[in-house]
């Protein structure tokens, strides 16, 4: 059974959504409580708590998605490198193959 935030964001299947909501709720609590302790104004503290939730959630969302995109790029590069290694292993294009004197003079 999935949990949908605002009726359309499936928190369990969308990467980074669960963590963003959890960090957003923690940020909401910290900002709201901090503002209440500082000013003792309940309504304004609730407004700050909602703002803290939105800012923290969006901030962590972008941070997590950026890291996820970088990880996917690294995985793609590693996969391509492994494919090239299998393809060129043992041939004259193999970068790890030791070059002899004749091959060095040709380059």
Give the residue with greater pLDDT, 59 vs 81: 59
Mean predicted confidence (pLDDT) in 4-31: 82
Structure tokens at 38: 């500082």
Helix then strand then coil, in percent of the chain rounded to 5, is 70, 5, 25
User: What mean pLDDT is predicted for residues 7-14?
Assistant: 69
Alpha-helical (H) ranges within the chain are 17-39, 42-88, 101-106
The pLDDT score that the predictor gives to residue 89 is 73
- What is the residue extent of each domain of the chain? 15-86
pLDDT over 70 (residue 3): no
Running DSSP on this structure, what letter comes out for residue 98? P
Residue 103: closest CA among 91, 92, 90: 92
Q: What is the pLDDT of residues 33-76, one digit of tens each?
A: 999 999 999 999 999 999 999 999 999 999 999 999 999 999 99
Average pLDDT over residues 11-35: 89
Pick from 44, 46, 61: nearest CA to 9: 61
The predicted pLDDT at position 100 comes to: 55
Distance between start and end Cα atoms, the chain: 63
Average pLDDT of the segment spanning 10-22: 82
Q: What is the pLDDT of residue 6?
A: 62
| Structure token digits, residue 1 | 């059974």
57: burial class by Cβ within 10 Å (0-12, 13-18, 19+)?
buried
């Amino acid at each position: 059974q999935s949990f949908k935030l605002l009726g359309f964001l499936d928190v369990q299947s969308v990467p980074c959504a669960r963590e963003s909501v959890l960090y957003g709720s923690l940020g909401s609590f910290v900002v709201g409580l901090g503002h209440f302790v500082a000013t003792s104004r309940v309504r304004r503290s609730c407004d700050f708590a909602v703002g803290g939730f939105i800012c923290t959630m969006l901030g962590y969302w972008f941070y997590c998605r950026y890291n996820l995109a970088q990880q996917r790029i690294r995985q793609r590069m590693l996969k391509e490198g492994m494919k090239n290694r299998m393809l060129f292993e043992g041939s004259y294009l193999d970068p790890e193959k030791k070059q002899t004197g004749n091959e060095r003079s040709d380059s």
